[in-house]
Structure 1
Amino acid sequence: MLDSKYVEILNHLSSATSSIHATHLADALGKSVRTVKSYVKSINESYPGLIKASPYGYALNRERYKQIAINSVVAMPSTPDERLVYIIRSLIKKEHLNIVTIAYELHVSESTVRADLAQLKKRLDTYSLTMKVEKQTVVIQGLEKNKRRLLTSILYKESNQNFLNIESLQNNFDEYNIFKIRDIVVSTLNEAHYFVNDYALMNLILHIVVSISRIQHNNTYSDSETMDIISTNTEIQIAEKITQRISSYFQIQYSKEEVYELSLLILSSGSNINFNAVNELNIASYIDEGVLNLVDDLIKSINRYYYIDISENQFFFRFALHINNLLKRLQMGRSNKNPITMNIKQSCPLIYDCAVSVAHDISHRFNVQISDDEITYIAFHIGGALETQKSLGNKVSCIFIFPQYYDMNQNLYNHLTETFHDSLVVQNMVTDEFSIENFDVDLIITTQPLQTTPVLPVIVINPFKNERDTAQIYETIHRLKENKRRNTFKETISTMLSSQTFFLNDEPRNQQNVIDFLVSKAVDMGSVGEMFKQEIMDREAMSSTGFGKIAIPHSMRMNAEKTSMLVFISKHPIRWDTTDVNLVIMLTIAKDDRKVFADIFDPLSMMLTESVVIDQLLQATTVASFIEVLGYNFQ
């Protein structure tokens, strides 16, 4: 049995595309280099040749990895969370457990198991389940569908890293033919011309795997557990066909309540609408006017607070269809899982923040809670539109100096403007260098060496198009863009941060203490009003701003009196929701400076995913040194 700490390092290496140095691996796992080397040695002792070492770092022997089917090796639970999952899975499978037996199986004391059970009670509360303990026997009590929800969430978490990989799922659940289940679901949906995306499909498969397991152990729905929401004939017919085929293959029998429950999941996961056929004239026949008005309000809100214009028709149609399905799920108390939520939160912070704002508006209007996973699906829709707009607004201006010779200069001009249409704005084309004085541009591109030495970058290219010149122009454009962004970032941070908003702390604090302290300082400076603290708490309630060792609390409304940045560096870890942070950066953004948020939030959040950068920032003792670290590490 492999210890979970070894499985963690193997999972990290399996997702890498090249060798990883021990120091980088240590940073990623939160371990020392010595510990990482010790882990690698132990793994190779158990599975010789599994991890290869070279001057470039560690790499997984993928053929060996595949041969030993490491994904199917059960890890010995060693942390409280892992023991909790083990206990839950055992309880749901066996219905009752003996505390002495659990302690023996987990190699821990009975007192440790009882402490784990206290945490289990809290976990069960979120699924409307209860735990009964009589002497040494533990039993989970509650509705069957809630037990399945709990088990599905555990299975999802275990397969989360490779959620869309059907082979990985099969390795995790080798007692069932996952490929056969997928084929049954996909073929039935196709026959009905019903569309679900890949994420929703895997959610359906997980639901069916759990239902098969529970039915095989004589655990079925009762009449009182479901059929409280109206489904439609289409989804019911699909569910009936899927369960008939599953029943035939696995020799089980679905109850009518379970068929209906599956139909509700299908209803909330997909649609029989042909997306390409939806247009401005017929969308009202697919979606209620109230939902269309809501989506229109959401898009206007994004534009108002983030300066992002996503009013294009195709986006509106697809976003409206998604929100329509989301509202159905919320009505049913359901939430689709998303395997890349944490990745999106960290790698696309501005997009995710826009999605949080949208989710907050929906939550406020319908008095519902929206999970981080559902917020990530909203971010999927916003992301494409935002990236398109960013590329259009981030072009380099230039002037061409091409001496006229028949139509050669025009042909070259046409070639360059077509090749670099998404990154280059051509202010003018002139025939000699003395005509460029009146133009304010970033770059000069010429076919002949210049007699003067301009302060601007100059690229001398061949009159005939070639790959070397194209590559040189691409490289220069990229460098100029990065320099622009870096300079803008540093200048903006310098205006927001001062010695009055920079705090070093060596006393133990908690999340609420730090928020109260920073808000009071912002109020004293006249940056925000009294309502700002509640706006901060509303944002945290939607989705925590803490990740890694940092937190960036801010309002979703960006209506502060003044734009500022407050930095709080703590020697002692601060418990921030479910993570420990040492660096808190609170942002206050004035209405007229909302574009500032878009300019700094993405690069700032991206930098702060790097443990090396965070460590450097935590060593900063002055505003100047803090800004210097940010400027140096800008990406």
Structure 2
Amino acid sequence: MKGGIGVFLDQSSCALLRYLIGLQESETIMKISKELQQSRRKIYYHLEKINAAFPDHVEPIESLPRIGIRLSDSQRQVCRYLLSTIDSYSYIMNMDERMQLMLLYICIARERITLEKLMDLTEVSRNTVLNDLNEIRSRLSKEQYQMTLYVSKSQGYDLACHPLTKIQYIHSLLYSLFTEASKSFVSILEDKVSLFSGCQSLFSKDLAQFLSRQVYGIEKDLGKKINRSEIELMLKILPYMLLTYRNMSLEQEEKDAIVREFALVYERIEYGVAQKISQSLEEQFGLDLDEIEVSLIAVLLLSYRKDRDAHVTSQDFADLKKVVDAFIRHFELHSDFDLEKKEELAHDLLAHCKAMLFRKTYGILSRNPLVDQIRYKYDTLFRLTKSSSHILEEAWQIQLTDEDIAYLTVHLGGALRRSSSRKLTSPTVFLICDEGVSVQKLLMKQCQHHLPEKTISAVFTTEQFKSVEDLLEVDFLISTNEVTDTDLPVIQVHPILDFDDVLRLIHFAKYRSLTDSQKGFAMELDKLLASYVENGQEALELKQRLQNLIANELLASLASSDLETDLY
């Protein structure tokens, strides 16, 4: 490398690297600037840093006049290597990341937090830390948590708020970090927090592995299957939540008040399971949890989404079931959609809403990463779901966000009756999806709509697929995951199919191959529309209408072609 300048690549440099690696066609600096929301000057600055890290035998990345940038194979290979070498020693945190790290440290550290310790933690100057702290105060004043950052000689830096509010905030912060932050920053966070927190035992690999092994027993005792991605997040977040609680200096009266806040939890089976986990932790690691800490574990178990719940038919939830049934009836009465297997739908919705109510009660965040795709791809279904959601809001005295509505939309979308009566006679197609039962159902409906001539027989998780792979007689596979170790024909798509996915699916179903010309259709359409429509929202709406029109024409064309084949 030329002078080893690659060690100064920061998050923005990494974002540019990822964008360049993904380019299939030449892209101008102006377009890259808009996509990454960075100035052109910044893009050129990061290009200089990236080029400085290139080996001598590989030509630097240059933007050609009126053409832009497109990486050669050798440049793309070097860029991938640079990304793979970014670690906690070479990664430079931006302001947002420094603030997140400081807030996390302030919440969980048991020692007095001084300015010097924050400087050591973030590895920046005194003035930079002071500016970051001022920005933290400003942002906290605008958030819903009603927290104030203060400093005193006796305690150093700390957050003034209700004890449960601090726990809710730390859960929200960590949920965002573990689902959205770069891998390099998460690596820094985990290394530094473990080192500076003064409690390495809670972050030990042995404890993490032990908790992971407990999952099967937890689900067996609960009679429920927790969404896999959420149980993994829970195991990551739990040590931080316990440390946040232990970092508080609470009087017995304050602890008694928190115990009363958890009254709903003690009636649920999850509390008994949390007690068993606590007992196991004490036996294996000498880790003694008090009643509040056990309750926190129970709250997480109650709040996270379930793929299966054997208890939703119990009498305890009869009133909830009536509300869910009323929501389904309202949706059917006020829409042209027809639902099938409504009892199964009610069962799935009830399991989802039980967890949702506990999340609302205890302020536990659960983000829906597909909300924007669902809102645009299934705009009519989303709006009709939202108009019926007042049934749930009024009955349970809650307010549903667009993310909550999107989850409900997924459940309803997976239960829509197909309007086509086309006879399915072709070989079988199987789906592979680890995103949870509701997303699996919606994915199947999408594939059935766009491939009506195919028999979509089943949806597997990756684990289920590997166990039956040798027994399958299959035309091809459609997967939302990267499946590299199979000899069967497979195409990878998003859980919510975008327009490029639809084109590739139709082509793959016909020819069992992918063509480069189809991979960037949406990108090319963006370029074309940008030349004629200046308003971004209008361009997006026009793009969606064109895509729907083209997709319908392709579908009709494909059906006509198959009919001609059958006739002759």
Mapped pair 1:127 → 2:145: yes
After superposition, what is the alpha-carbon deviation per residue over 1:495-551, rounded to whole angstroms, capped at 9, x for unaligned? xxxxxxxxxxxxxxxxxxxxxxxxxxxxxxxxxxxxxxxxxxxxxxxxxxxxxxxxx
**So what's the TM-score if we normalise by structure 2?**
0.58
Distance (Å, rounded) in 2 between the aligned partners of 1:327 and 1:208: 20
Quick check: 2:226–2:306 contact (8 Å CA) kept in 1?
yes
Aligned-partner SS, 2:359: helix
- Aligned 1:331-350 pairs, distance under 5 A: 331-350=361-380
Which residue does the alignment assign to 1:515? none
Distance (Å, rounded) in 2 between the aligned partners of 1:22 and 1:608: 10
- Aligned 1:178-197 pairs, distance under 5 A: 179-180=208-209, 182-192=211-221, 193-197=223-227
Distance (Å, rounded) in 1 between the aligned partners of 2:210 and 2:187: 11
Moved more, 152-161 or 105-114: 105-114
Which residue among 23, 42, 49 is the counterpart of 2:49?
A: 42
After superposition, what is the alpha-carbon deviation per residue over 1:466-500, rounded to whole angstroms, capped at 9, x for unaligned? xxxxxxxx99x969xxxxxxxxxxxxxxxxxxxxx
Quick check: 1:4–1:76 contact (8 Å CA) kept in 2?
yes
Distance (Å, rounded) in 2 between the aligned partners of 1:191 and 1:263: 15
- Aligned 1:348-363 pairs, distance under 5 A: 348-363=378-393
Distance (Å, rounded) in 2 between the aligned partners of 1:318 and 1:609: 40
Mapped pair 1:290 → 2:337: no
Structure 1 residues 242 and 353: CA distance shift in structure 2, 3 A:
farther
Distance (Å, rounded) in 2 between the aligned partners of 1:31 and 1:155: 26
Which residue among 329, 337, 340 is the counterpart of 1:308?
A: 337
Structure 1 residues 106 and 353: CA distance shift in structure 2, 3 A:
farther
Q: Identity over the aligned pairs, expressed in percent?
A: 15
For 2:257, the aligned partner's letter is S
Paired residues in the alignment total: 425
After superposition, what is the alpha-carbon deviation per residue over 1:93-122, rounded to whole angstroms, capped at 9, x for unaligned? 447655688689544568744641442432
Superposed displacement of residue 299, structure 1: 1.8
Which residue does the alignment assign to 1:9? 16
**So what's the TM-score if we normalise by structure 1?**
0.53
Which residue does the alignment assign to 2:170? 151
Unaligned runs of 5+ in 2: 1-7, 62-69, 195-202, 430-446, 454-501, 508-520, 551-568
For 1:239, the aligned partner's letter is A
Structure 1 residues 233 and 160: CA distance shift in structure 2, 3 A:
closer
Unaligned runs of 5+ in 1: 397-412, 426-473, 480-605
Structure 1 residues 218 and 114: CA distance shift in structure 2, 3 A:
closer
Which residue does the alignment assign to 1:366? 396
Structure 1 residues 100 and 62: CA distance shift in structure 2, 3 A:
closer
Aligned-partner SS, 2:150: strand
Quick check: 2:163–2:248 contact (8 Å CA) kept in 1?
no
After superposition, what is the alpha-carbon deviation per residue over 1:244-289, rounded to whole angstroms, capped at 9, x for unaligned? 44455665432121102211221233669655xx9xxxx6535633
Mapped pair 1:377 → 2:407: yes
Relative to its length, the structure with more strand (as a share) is: 1
Quick check: 2:278–2:294 contact (8 Å CA) kept in 1?
yes
Quick check: 1:310–1:385 contact (8 Å CA) kept in 2?
yes
CA RMSD of aligned residues (A): 5.1
For 2:227, the aligned partner's letter is N
Aligned-partner SS, 2:415: helix
Distance (Å, rounded) in 2 between the aligned partners of 1:627 and 1:139: 47
Aligned-partner SS, 1:238: helix
Which residue does the alignment assign to 1:139? 158
Which residue does the alignment assign to 1:575? none
Distance (Å, rounded) in 2 between the aligned partners of 1:200 and 1:219: 30
Which residue among 252, 256, 261 is the counterpart of 1:223?
A: 256
For 1:140, the aligned partner's letter is L
Aligned-partner SS, 2:360: helix
Distance (Å, rounded) in 2 between the aligned partners of 1:631 and 1:328: 39
Which residue does the alignment assign to 2:100? 85
Which residue among 27, 36, 39 is the counterpart of 1:29?
A: 36
For 2:317, the aligned partner's letter is D
Superposed displacement of residue 140, structure 1: 1.0
- Aligned 1:254-269 pairs, distance under 5 A: 254-269=289-304
Aligned-partner SS, 2:141: helix
Aligned-partner SS, 1:307: coil
Distance (Å, rounded) in 2 between the aligned partners of 1:33 and 1:294: 53
- Aligned 1:139-538 pairs, distance under 5 A: 139-161=158-180, 173-174=190-191, 175=194, 176=203, 177=205, 179-180=208-209, 182-192=211-221, 193-214=223-244, 222-228=255-261, 229-231=263-265, 232=267, 234-247=269-282, 252-269=287-304, 284-285=313-314, 288-313=317-342, 314-386=344-416, 389=418, 392-393=419-420
Quick check: 1:100–1:110 contact (8 Å CA) kept in 2?
no
Superposed displacement of residue 357, structure 1: 3.5
Structure 1 residues 301 and 373: CA distance shift in structure 2, 3 A:
same
Aligned-partner SS, 1:186: helix
Aligned-partner SS, 1:195: strand
Superposed displacement of residue 46, structure 1: 5.0
Quick check: 2:171–2:364 contact (8 Å CA) kept in 1?
no
